[in-house]
């Protein structure tokens, strides 16, 4: 699996970056805007699927960010 992959379930231009560590594999969910990279969430991945709570949090933060523009 690549270190970064699209997350269309959160929104267009959203991606998940995998960052391996000694004890965890961290996930950084981010949105690529034309002039910024917006970090939506960072968490230690513990299961195969992204937790629904993380997805919901990211969707809410993305919506709030887009409302500010």
- pTM to 2 decimal places: 0.90
Averaged pLDDT, 19-44: 95
Residue with tokens 């993305």: 62
Give the pLDDT score at 2. Answer: 66
Model confidence at 58, in pLDDT bands (50, 70, 90)? very high
Q: Is the pLDDT of residue 53 over 70?
A: yes
Give alpha helix (H) positions in the chain: 52-68
Show the tokens assigned to 39.
């970090």
């Amino acid at each position: 699996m690549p270190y970064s992959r699209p997350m269309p379930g959160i929104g267009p231009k959203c991606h998940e970056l995998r960052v391996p560590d000694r004890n965890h594999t961290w996930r950084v969910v981010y949105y690529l805007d034309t002039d910024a990279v917006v970090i939506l969430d960072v968490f230690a991945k513990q299961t195969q699927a992204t937790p629904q709570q993380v997805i919901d949090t990211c969707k809410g933060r993305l919506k709030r960010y887009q409302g500010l523009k």
